[in-house]
Structure 1
Amino acid sequence: MSARCARVKQPLGVIYTIAVVALSLFISLPSQAAANLIKSPNDSRAYQVLTLPNQLEVLLISDPATSKAAVSMDVNIGSAANPKGREGLAHFLEHMLFLGTEKYPKAGEYQAFIQSHGGAHNAFTALENTNYFFDINANDLAPALDRFSQFFIHPLFSEEYTQRERNAVHSEYRAKIRDDNRRVYAATQQIMNPEHPASRFSVGNLETLNNENGQLRKDVVAFYNQYYSANQMKLAILGKQSLDQLAELAQQYFSAIPNKSTPEFTINTPLYDPSDLPIQINIQTLKDDYGLSLSFPMPSDRDYWETKPLSLISSMVGYEGDGSLLALLKSKGWANSLGASPGQSFDNESAFSVYIGLTPEGFNHKDEIVSLFFSYIASLKTQGISQALFNEEKLLSQQAFQFLDEREPIHYVTQLSQRMADQTYPIEDILVAPYRLDRYDSDVIKRYITQITPENMVLALQANSLNSDQKAPYYNTPYQVIPLTSEQLATWSKAPTNPELFVRHTNPFIATDLSLKGGTNESTQTQLVPTQLDTGVPGLALWHLHNTQFNVPKADVWFTLLSPVAREGADASVGLHLYTDLINEQLNKLLYDAQMAGLSTQIYSHARGISVRISGYDQQIGRLLTPVVSALRHPELSSERFNRVKQDLLQSLSNADKETPYNQLFSAGYDFLLHDPNLHEQTVAAQSYTLEKLSALIDRFYQSVEVRVLANGNLLAPQALNLTRTIETQLSPVSLGEVAPDTSIVKIKSEEQFTQAVPVKHKDHAVVQYLQTANATEKEAAAVTLINEIFSAPFYSQLRTEQQLGYIVFASPMTIRKQPGMALVVQSPSTDIQVIKERMDAFMQAFTQQLSELDETTLNRFKASVLARINDQDRQLSDSTNRFWRDIDNQALSFDKRERLSAYISALTAPELKSIYEEMITRRLILQTLSTDPDL
Structure 2
Amino acid sequence: MPFSPAAPDNALVLDNGLVLKVLHEPRLRKAAAFLRVEAGSHDVDPAWPGLAHFLEHLFFLGTERYDGDQALMAYVQRQGGQLNASTRERHTEFFFEVPPAALSGALERLCEMLARPRLALGDQRREREVLHAEFLAWSRDAEAQHQLWLSEPLSARHPLRAFHAGNRYSLPLGNADFQQGLLAFYRRFYHGAQMSLCLAGPQPVEGLLAVARRCAQVLPSGKRQPRPAPVPLLDGSGQASAAADPRRLNLVFACQALPEDSASALAFLTAWAAQPQPGGLLAELQKREWVERLDVRVLYHYADQAVLDFDFRLTPAGVRAAGNVAQLCLSWLEFFEALGTWTPLEEEYALLRKRQQLVAGALELARREACPASEPVTAALGAVLAQLKPENLLHPLPAPQGSVPQVAWRLPQRNRFLRPTRRPDQPLPDLRSVRYAQGSASAPEEGEVFVRWRGHASRHPGITQVLDHSLRRLADEARQAGVRLTFHRLGDDWQLRLSGIAEPMPALLEQAALQLANPPPETWRLGEPPEPAAQAPIRELLKRLPEHCLGFFNTQLRDTREAVQASTLAKLWGDTRWEALAVGFREPARSGLNQALRQLPGQPASQTGGSVLPMSGRRWSHLPGATGEHALLLFCPAPQGSLADEAAWRLLAHLAQTAFYQRMRVELQLGYAVFASFRQISGSAGLVFGVQSPGTALSGILGHMEQFFEQLPRLINNLGTSTVLSQAQSLATRLSRDELDTPQLGETLWQAGLGGKGPDYLEALQAALAALRPQHVAEAARRLQQASSGWLALANGPAPDDRWQAVR
Give the TM-score category using the shorter length. 0.7 to 0.9
Partner of 1:543 in structure 2?
A: 436
Q: 1:235 aligns with which of 197, 206, 211?
A: 197
Partner of 2:277 in structure 1?
A: 321
Deviation at 1:824, TM superposition (A): 1.6
In structure 2, runs of 5+ residues without a counterpart are 800-808
Q: 1:601 & 1:281 partners in 2: Cα distance? A: 39
Deviation at 1:193, TM superposition (A): 1.9
Matches within 5 A, 1:314-713: 314-397=270-353, 399-400=354-355, 404-405=357-358, 407-417=360-370, 419=371, 433-434=372-373, 437-438=375-376, 445-459=381-395, 499-507=406-414, 509=416, 511-513=418-420, 533-535=429-431, 540-541=433-434, 543=436, 549-550=442-443, 552=445, 558=449, 560-566=451-457, 570-572=458-460, 574-584=461-471, 588=473, 592=476, 595-596=479-480, 601-614=485-498, 624-636=508-520, 641-644=523-526, 646-648=527-529, 651-652=531-532, 658-666=534-542, 669-679=545-555, 682-683=556-557, 686-690=558-562, 692-695=563-566, 697-712=568-583
Of residues 176-185 and 738-747 in structure 1, the stretch that sits farther from structure 2 once superposed is: 738-747
Partner of 2:638 in structure 1?
A: 773
TM-score with structure 1 length normalisation?
Answer: 0.76
Q: Deviations over 1:749-803 (max 9, x none)?
A: xxx3334444356442223333233434211211111101111111111221122
Q: 1:34 to 1:502 in 2, by over 3 A?
A: closer
Counterpart contact for 1:87–1:209, Cα < 8 Å: yes
Deviation at 1:358, TM superposition (A): 0.5
Q: 1:594 to 1:437 in 2, by over 3 A?
A: farther
Partner of 2:243 in structure 1?
A: 283
Q: 1:849 & 1:709 partners in 2: Cα distance? A: 43
Instruction: Name the SS for the 1:337 alignment partner.
Output: strand
Of residues 107-116 and 222-231 in structure 1, the stretch that sits farther from structure 2 once superposed is: 107-116
Partner of 2:711 in structure 1?
A: 846
Counterpart contact for 2:31–2:98, Cα < 8 Å: yes
Instruction: Name the SS for the 1:128 alignment partner.
Output: coil
Counterpart contact for 1:394–1:437, Cα < 8 Å: no
Q: Deviations over 1:127-150 (max 9, x none)?
A: 111122234443344444443222
Counterpart contact for 2:683–2:751, Cα < 8 Å: no
Counterpart contact for 1:562–1:740, Cα < 8 Å: no
Letter in 2 for 1:929: N
Find out whether 1:157 has 2:28 as its counterpart: no
Q: Deviations over 1:166-200 (max 9, x none)?
A: 10001122233332221111222332222222222
Q: Could you say what the CA RMSD is over the residues aligned between the two structures, in angstroms? A: 3.8
Instruction: Name the SS for the 1:283 alignment partner.
Output: coil
Partner of 2:598 in structure 1?
A: 728
Q: Deviations over 1:295-326 (max 9, x none)?
A: 222346563369x4434443443222222222
Deviation at 1:631, TM superposition (A): 3.0
Partner of 2:156 in structure 1?
A: 194
Letter in 1 for 2:249: L
Instruction: Name the SS for the 1:370 alignment partner.
Output: helix
Of residues 780-789 and 605-614 in structure 1, the stretch that sits farther from structure 2 once superposed is: 605-614
Partner of 1:471 in structure 2?
A: none
Counterpart contact for 2:706–2:785, Cα < 8 Å: no
Of residues 722-731 and 807-816 in structure 1, the stretch that sits farther from structure 2 once superposed is: 722-731
Q: 1:763 to 1:447 in 2, by over 3 A?
A: closer
Amino-acid identity (%):
21
Find out whether 1:922 has 2:786 as its counterpart: yes
Q: 2:604 & 2:28 partners in 1: Cα distance? A: 44
Instruction: Name the SS for the 1:400 alignment partner.
Output: helix
Find out whether 1:807 has 2:672 as its counterpart: yes
Letter in 2 for 1:273: L
Counterpart contact for 2:610–2:755, Cα < 8 Å: no
Counterpart contact for 2:439–2:585, Cα < 8 Å: yes
Q: 2:351 & 2:322 partners in 1: Cα distance? A: 37
Partner of 2:653 in structure 1?
A: 788
Q: 1:774 & 1:616 partners in 2: Cα distance? A: 33
Letter in 2 for 1:87: P
Q: 1:215 to 1:771 in 2, by over 3 A?
A: farther
In structure 1, runs of 5+ residues without a counterpart are 1-25, 38-48, 420-432, 460-482, 519-530
TM-score with structure 2 length normalisation?
Answer: 0.87
Find out whether 1:81 has 2:43 as its counterpart: yes
Q: 2:215 & 2:40 partners in 1: Cα distance? A: 24
Deviation at 1:616, TM superposition (A): 6.9
Letter in 2 for 1:930: G
Counterpart contact for 1:546–1:716, Cα < 8 Å: no
Deviation at 1:805, TM superposition (A): 1.4
Q: 1:294 aligns with which of 241, 246, 251?
A: 251
Q: 1:253 to 1:368 in 2, by over 3 A?
A: closer
Q: 1:898 & 1:544 partners in 2: Cα distance? A: 11
Letter in 2 for 1:704: D
Partner of 2:167 in structure 1?
A: 205
Q: 1:795 to 1:887 in 2, by over 3 A?
A: closer
Letter in 2 for 1:409: A
Q: 1:253 to 1:583 in 2, by over 3 A?
A: closer
Q: 2:720 & 2:428 partners in 1: Cα distance? A: 45
Q: Deviations over 1:844-888 (max 9, x none)?
A: 112221223331221133224423432374686555544554455
Deviation at 1:890, TM superposition (A): 4.5
Q: 1:607 & 1:675 partners in 2: Cα distance? A: 8
Q: 1:899 aligns with which of 759, 763, 785?
A: 763
Deviation at 1:276, TM superposition (A): 6.5
Q: 1:149 to 1:357 in 2, by over 3 A?
A: same
Instruction: Name the SS for the 1:191 alignment partner.
Output: coil
Q: 1:873 to 1:89 in 2, by over 3 A?
A: farther
Counterpart contact for 1:765–1:828, Cα < 8 Å: yes
Counterpart contact for 1:784–1:821, Cα < 8 Å: yes
Q: 1:35 & 1:578 partners in 2: Cα distance? A: 50
Letter in 2 for 1:571: R
Q: 2:511 & 2:498 partners in 1: Cα distance? A: 12
Q: 1:379 & 1:769 partners in 2: Cα distance? A: 53
Q: 1:406 & 1:735 partners in 2: Cα distance? A: 32
Q: 1:281 to 1:847 in 2, by over 3 A?
A: same
Q: 1:864 & 1:516 partners in 2: Cα distance? A: 42
Counterpart contact for 1:76–1:128, Cα < 8 Å: yes
Counterpart contact for 2:444–2:584, Cα < 8 Å: no
Q: 1:711 to 1:850 in 2, by over 3 A?
A: closer
Q: 2:45 & 2:303 partners in 1: Cα distance? A: 21
Counterpart contact for 1:334–1:358, Cα < 8 Å: yes
Instruction: Name the SS for the 1:155 alignment partner.
Output: coil
Q: 1:52 & 1:330 partners in 2: Cα distance? A: 53
Of residues 768-777 and 240-249 in structure 1, the stretch that sits farther from structure 2 once superposed is: 240-249
Q: 1:304 & 1:630 partners in 2: Cα distance? A: 43
Report the structure number with the largest CA radius of gyration. Answer: 1
